Amino acid sequence: MSRKLLTIAFLGFLTACSDPSRSSAQSSALPGPPLPAAARRAPTDAAQVKLSFAPVVRKVKNAVVNISSKRVVRQIDPFFEMFGAGVPRSRVEGSLGSGVIVRADGVIVTNNHVIEGGQEITVSLEDRREFPAKVLLADPKADLAVLKIDAKDLPTLAISAGEDLQVGDLVLAIGDPFGVGQTVTNGIISALNRTDVGSGSASSFIQTDAAINPGNSGGALVDMNGDLIGVNSMILSRSGGSQGVGFAIPGPVVRQVVEAALGGGKSVARPWLGVAGQAVNGEIARSLGLDRPEGLLLADIYPGSAAARAGLQQGDAILSVDGQPVNDEASLNYRIGTRRAGEEVAIGYQRGGKAQTLRVKVEAPPNRPRDEQLLQGRHPFDGAVVVNLSPATAIDLDVDPFASGVLVTEIRGGLSINAGIRPGDLIREVNGKKISAVAELRAALVQPSRTWSVVIERNGQRISATFG
């Protein structure tokens, strides 16, 4: 299962955070008329912060759009539903968010949770034109979606590689909070490489202190060059309102998802090193001869993976990827996962008290046919949906990529409910026959039997049961 601990208390989106308005009395006391637009320029150092951000805003604002998503939900009145009666009624649910145009022919990136489940998606441009949109690719793991509208010669934002971002850099966030219209906030990068937050497990988030409120999700976080350094996604909040702790999906992840969509893919194939481990703490650091806690101590290496072929071993501590620090499994997966398959990366690691470096060619995780099937019949797995498990499928389903066998992904009723079968169970044996593939499971279940003896693995524990 996923090792990540979700710490987000409430999802939300970036909002306007303009300077407080001056009263008319204060304005009349100001000496001289305001500076004309042509005399304004973006600040280039701390002494110039008092100048205007307007040049940057003018450059980027037309590439930020409003997105509305609607879906029809059929629901029975709960009172009548208790008695198994009632006629389903349809109601329309909607959501509002923001998006960013990344190609002039109408390719737009936004958050997946903005359009998830939407049956009718509308994009509104800054010039008030509206277009229906279709989804090219939805990637829940990164919480990103790529849309397409039928338009040409649109303003765009360039996606930044984000290699030179630093904590303290000035940023602008543009979106459509509360549906009031496009607004701009300014702030700084509060932190980089946040891997312990968010529902999207494929990102290492940029943290910003910009104000965040519903509707800004999917909007642009830009630097002072007007480049897209991130897509605003969520906040950490106790109240649901902005408390100055917001997160954006970084440019490299955005670029990867957009490239996958433009290549015709329906999912994103992220490279995988093939290791599992734990963050190095103070005690482990001392035993490894490190002067401080850093890196990821390798506990397991997948056979035949890129890490295994490169010569990494259990007990090694990975410290960096291409010079960028690695301090937990999530940050390693981000550093590797945002590369293209076939690229070489430099892995810095510690072995036997000595710092070393090796080069690894990263690749997609091993895969095999999922063979997803709904099981039916007079057996304990009636009504269960099962798949063949491989590292690629496991990562897609957010379970342990080192697990193998046949995984129960869903229960759709039937005898499996009474048998206590649950999603996430790994089926190990049926009537004494070891199970490693869906085909083997089906072969075992078609054999007539008056009793069924099964072994499943749940949360690392093996459970045996016999059913009449």
Contacts of 197 (CB under 8 A, 6+ apart): 6, 7, 8, 205, 234, 236, 247
Cα 464 to Cα 289, 440, 452, 454: the distances in Å are 45, 19, 11, 6
Token output for 329: 């499994």
Instruction: Give the Cα separation of 408 and 422 in Å (integer).
Output: 7
State the Cα–Cα distance between residues 341 and 322, nearest whole angstrom: 15
Question: CA 426, CA 444: separation in Å to the nearest integer?
Answer: 15
Selected catalytic residue, list 68, 95, 98, 113: 113
CA distance 118 to 90: 15
- What would you measure as the largest C-alpha separation in the chain, in angstroms? 95
Among this protein's residues, is 331 annotated catalytic? no
374 alpha-carbon distance from chain centroid: 28
Catalytic residue, from 124, 139, 143, 396: name it: 143
Calculate the dihedral angle through the C-alpha atoms of 425, 426, 432, 437, rounding to the nearest 10 degrees: 140
| CA distances to 287, 291, 304, 315, 358 from 351, in Å | 11, 14, 21, 7, 12
- State how far the Cα of 108 lies from the Cα of 291, in Å rounded to an integer: 46
Q: Which of 98, 124, 217, 237 is catalytic?
A: 217
Under 8 Å between Cβ of 342 and 306? no
113 is catalytic: yes
Catalytic status, residue 143: yes
Handedness of CA 277, 280, 281, 282 (dihedral sign): positive
Angstrom distance (rounded) from CA 10 to CA 288? 39
| 200-237 b/e (C-beta count within 10 Å ≥ 16 → b) | bbbbbbbbbbbbbbbbbbbbbbbbeebbbbbbbbbbbb
> In the structure encoding, which two tokens stand for residue 363, read together?
């690749």
CB hemisphere CA count around 230 (13 angstroms): 31
Catalytic residues: 113, 143, 217
